[in-house]
Amino acid sequence: MNIFIDESGSFVSARKENSWNCVVAYISPEVDTRGVRGVLNKLKKKSKINRNDEVKLKNIKEKDYFEFLNGLSERNGVLFSVATDAGYNSVSNIKFHQRDQVDKILKNKPKMKYKGGKQGIQLLSDQLSNLSPQLYAQLHCQVNLIHDIIQRGVLYFVQRYPKSLGSFRWRIDQKNTSKTVFEDAFEKITPALLQTKSLRDPLSMLEGANYNAFSRYEFKKGEEPTYLKEVYGINIDADKGINVGKLIREDIKFVDSKKDRGVQVVDLLASGLRRCLRNGFRDNLSVGMMLGKLMVQDQNNKLPIHLISFKGAFITKENPTYAVVRRMANNCRPMLNA
């Protein structure tokens, strides 16, 4: 399974509303690789961009972008996304959320039996507390994105391409030639936060589905991490506990988008989604519809795109973004493969 991730926006607190930032993942089974590249190459040809060069949204005509989205909708990949309006994310609110998360981690330090465990918790809390509000906001969105991929992505693809769940290839857009502070924090902090999050909110599994390929990421009997029970009071069911660290760390790379066509695709999706949320297209609702066709239905009629605020609920019917996210919801793919 190929998972390409990119973000759009700086995640810096803004003075006015409608200052959207988002993180996006395009998840595509390996068998779809050639088809996705074909869609991208067709867009480059229309935009008079060399096949080996990178194409950006600002260099694309709106009708050609619409055709690009339509081409992807005919493939088997899906779009997962988390977005936040920086106009609602004051520095004080972000810092409050950050301190609360750090306090929750440190709360368990005295419970650890061994020195190594205490040191690990301290290191994790230090890394998290040292992030700037901007990077913390981005990391929080990234963690929620990957949790959503594990929750809904696995359930979606086990019904359609179960063999693709035997390996997860994470490719994330690299912003500099050297590892950034965010990339370092992402690799070290994300698996730890997700492991606990996934065990408190276990993976929904479809009865009768073929999870044989995915089973290599399940904890085997006797290999369950006992500290989760000792410290957090979480009982691990070896048939349901997912080794999130293995799932993420086994094959993850920060890559140059100029050399990775999958990352080029997700870059176009991320920048297009952000522009759409900001009502930046001439035919904005049509673009929202096409983006929605790449998304996957969520349970209980929730939006297929996850909207995060450090202040509380903020999307109302009066908000200009409301119409476009409803258009996405009305056109997303069904979860169950009838």
Look at residue 23 and tell me if it is in a domain: yes
Give the number of other CB atoms < 10 A from CB of residue 114.
Answer: 9
**pLDDT beyond 60 at 239:** no
Supply the DSSP symbol for 6.
E
Q: Is the pLDDT of residue 208 over 60?
A: yes
Q: Per the domain annotation, does 336 fall within a domain?
A: no
Separation between Cα atoms, residue 290 and residue 164, nearest integer Å: 25
Give Cα 286 to chain centroid, integer Å: 23
- 53 assigned to some structural domain: yes
* CA-closest candidate to residue 263, choices 2, 81, 50: 2
When the pLDDT of each residue in the chain is averaged and rounded to a whole number, the result is 88
Reading the block at residue 33, the tokens are 């690789």
**Residue 338 counted as domain residue:** no
Contact between residue 263 and residue 46 where contact means Cβ atoms under 8 Å apart? no
- Residue 192 belongs to a domain: yes
How much is the pLDDT for 226? Answer: 56
pLDDT of 237 strictly over 80 = no
**Is pLDDT at 315 greater than 80 in this prediction?**
no
User: What separation in angstroms does the CA of 309 have from each of 2, 81, 180, 328?
Assistant: 29, 14, 25, 19
Tell me the per-residue pLDDT of 98-125, one tens digit each, with 9 for 90 and over. 999 899 878 766 666 556 667 777 888 8
Residue 269 lies in a domain: yes
Q: Tell me if 194 is assigned to some domain.
A: yes
Q: Which amino acid is at 107?
A: K
Q: Domain tally for the chain?
A: 1
Mean pLDDT of 198-212: 84
Q: How confident is the model at residue 269 (pLDDT cuts 50, 70, 90)?
A: very high
Residues 6+ apart with CB under 8 A from 318: none
**pLDDT tens track for 53-75:** 999 999 999 999 999 999 999 99
Mapping DSSP to helix (H, G, I), strand (E, B) and coil, where does residue 234 land?
A: coil
Q: Whole domain around residue 109: which residue ranges?
A: 2-331
Each residue's pLDDT tens digit, 146-175: 999 999 999 999 999 999 999 999 999 987
Report yes or no on 337 lying in a domain: no
